[in-house]
Amino acid sequence: MRLYVYVLEGKDLHVKNCYVKVHVGKHKSKTKILKKPTTNLVWNEEFVFRVYDMDEELVVSVFNHDHDHHDSGLFHGSGDLVGRVRIPIWSVLVEDNHTLPPTWFCLERHKTGKYISKDSGN
């Protein structure tokens, strides 16, 4: 089965240089880095994954790009985790036409023993 993932936008993400990593199983992709001084970011990017196991999860992780790991202008994907959401693949299959409508998800991040929530459109 092919899984199409659209990373649309995020809101209230208080970071300056932000990007999103998406992965299913061993397959990973990432968005471009948005370098905008705003809390509401728009990526509008599409990714396609091949899914073999319906028990897998789509993991969407938001990162603050770390300039200290920026080597000679090449981006290696290093950064501080802002938050993450895990979406079971089977949850897509139970929807009409096997499609989730554009949905806001709350990002969770472990910080000093507590989870904080941030909204992210996916």
Give residue 41's pLDDT band: very low, low, confident or very high (50, 70, 90): very high
**In this structure, how many other beta carbons lie within 10 angstroms of the beta carbon of residue 32?**
11
The overall longest dimension of the chain from CA atoms, in Å, is 47
Q: What is the pLDDT averaged over residues 34-54?
A: 92
The C-alpha angle 84, 58, 29, rounded to 5 degrees, equals: 85
Helix, strand, coil share of the chain (percent; to 5): 10, 55, 35
Give residue 122's pLDDT band: very low, low, confident or very high (50, 70, 90): low
Give residue 31's pLDDT band: very low, low, confident or very high (50, 70, 90): very high
pLDDT for residue 121: 59
**Tens of pLDDT, residues 102-120:** 999 999 875 643 445 555 5
User: How many domains, in total, are found in the chain?
Assistant: 1
**In this structure, how many other beta carbons lie within 10 angstroms of the beta carbon of residue 1?**
12
Q: Exposure pattern of 69-100 as b/e (b: 16+ CB <10 Å)?
A: eeeeeeeeeebeebbbbebebeebeeeeeeeb
Answer whether residue 74 shows pLDDT above 50.
no
Residue range(s) defining the domain that contains residue 107? 2-121
Model pTM score: 0.80
Asked if 106 and 118 touch (Cβ cutoff 8 Å), the reply is yes
Q: What is the CATH number of the domain that holds 53?
A: 2.60.40.150
Q: Rounded to whole angstroms, how far apart are CA atoms 37 and 49?
A: 31
- How many percent of the chain have pLDDT more than 90? 52
